[in-house]
Amino acid sequence: MQKPKKINWNLIVRIGGSLLSVLILAVIFSDQVWAKVWQQLKSLEAWRVAACLALIFISRLATWGRWHTLLSISQPKVAWRDSLRLTFTGLFAANVLPTTIGGDLARLAGAVRLGIDGHLAAASLVADRLIGMTGMSLALPFSLPALSKLQAGGALQSTALFAGLGQKIRQSLGKVGDNLRYWLKHPRLLLQALLFTLVHQACLYLILTVLIEGFGERMPFFLIAGLWSLVYFITLVPISINGLGLQELSISNIFSLLGGLSPSTGLSIALLMRVIQVVGSLPGALFLGSVMGGTKDMRQADGPDQA
């Protein structure tokens, strides 16, 4: 007798969370705000769009550099072409196909099929995530002045968006030491990986700067960094698919509530950041079939193949 299939409550919660976030986003903003958003999007200069696209691809290359650095302890060396393909495959799976397969799972499956040691691949993905968290935590203090002003006004306690955020950050950062043990003997590699993640973050902050100024408003660069780090940690809460809906809701509220942007600008940058992230992940479509299909064409990273 066949066993009944187990209900995937985690997936159901994530789908429900994404749909609820999108619904809230649609409800809390008036028709007037949405009309203003449409006008802002149409008026954005072409050079700003081009600059944002250039920056997102630099950001993507920086995330590849971070992971490739962590994989460099393997023997034989992982070819840079393979880690690049796997990185973009993971980005495509996470941002374009969020309902089918996670980005890290796609990278792990592809790495194993391409011949990379499974234990090393899994450990490197954990370290990759944790170094990303570490980089974001470095930007978090820049949000404190805005948070303190909000708390002084008595609004922070009533904002559900921040509930449990501090605990989530502490739990995330508490895992760093335990999971980086593979690389603790190679501090130079950890530092190099962190530098790559800082480049990645700087690109995101510059994209936000370009967009905000394009909509006729201004915000200090370091405040942008701090507020984006808040958004990052909020979207780590596993109640939506790849932060879909939750990221947009967080950006529009945090950048308006804490950063002083108009509601229409907060919503505009929230929507554009999602689109820009998707566009920056599209090259992964070129590699998805061969990577997930298990094409074994690993090259040892000697000579020109070494990153």
Q: Give the sign of the dihedral formed by CA 185, CA 84, CA 210, CA 37.
A: negative
Taking the C-alpha atoms of residue 165 and residue 199, their distance in angstroms, rounded to an integer, is: 25
Residues found in the chain: 307
Tell me what pLDDT residue 179 has. Answer: 53
Predicted pLDDT of residue 226: 96
CA 113, CA 267: separation in Å to the nearest integer? 41
Mean pLDDT by 10 residues, the chain (307 residues): 59 64 69 83 93 97 95 82 91 73 81 81 88 93 83 49 54 54 77 96 98 96 96 83 81 92 93 93 83 52 35
- Residue 111 is predicted with a pLDDT of 84
pLDDT of residue 165: 55
Q: What pTM does this model have?
A: 0.82
| 247, 231 contact by CB (below 8 A) | yes
Q: Are 217 and 265 in contact (CB under 8 A)?
A: yes
How many separate helices (H) and strands (E) can be counted in the chain? 14, 0
pLDDT of residue 5: 63
Instruction: Give me the amino acid identity at 61.
Output: L
> What was the pLDDT predicted at 301?
37
Question: Residue 104 burial (CB < 10 Å; 0-12/13-18/19+)?
Answer: middle
Eight-class DSSP state of 142: G
Closest by CA to 93, choosing from 273, 243, 272, 284, is 284
Residue type, 104: D
- Structural contact between residues 193 and 131, judged by C-beta atoms closer than 8 angstroms: yes
d(CA 297, CA 162): 47
Q: Give me the long-range contacts of 174-178 (CB less than 8 A, separation at least 24).
A: 175/130, 176/130, 176/133, 176/134
φ, ψ (nearest 5 deg) of residue 44:
-65, 130
Amino acid at 137: S
SS (H, E, C) 20-79: HHHHHHHHHCCHHHHHHHHHHHHHCCHHHHHHHHHHHHHHHHHHHHHHHHHHCCCCCCEC
Q: What is the pLDDT of residue 36?
A: 87
Cα 222 to Cα 183: distance, rounded to the nearest angstrom: 30
- Which 3 state secondary structure label does DSSP give 4? coil
Q: Give the three-class secondary structure for 300.
A: strand
Please give the pLDDT value at position 300. 37
Tell me if 106 sits within 8 A of 90, measured CB to CB.
yes
Q: Looking at residue 157, what is its pLDDT?
A: 45
- At residue 237, the 3 state secondary structure works out as coil
The whole-number pLDDT of residue 170 equals 58
- At residue 283, the 3 state secondary structure works out as helix
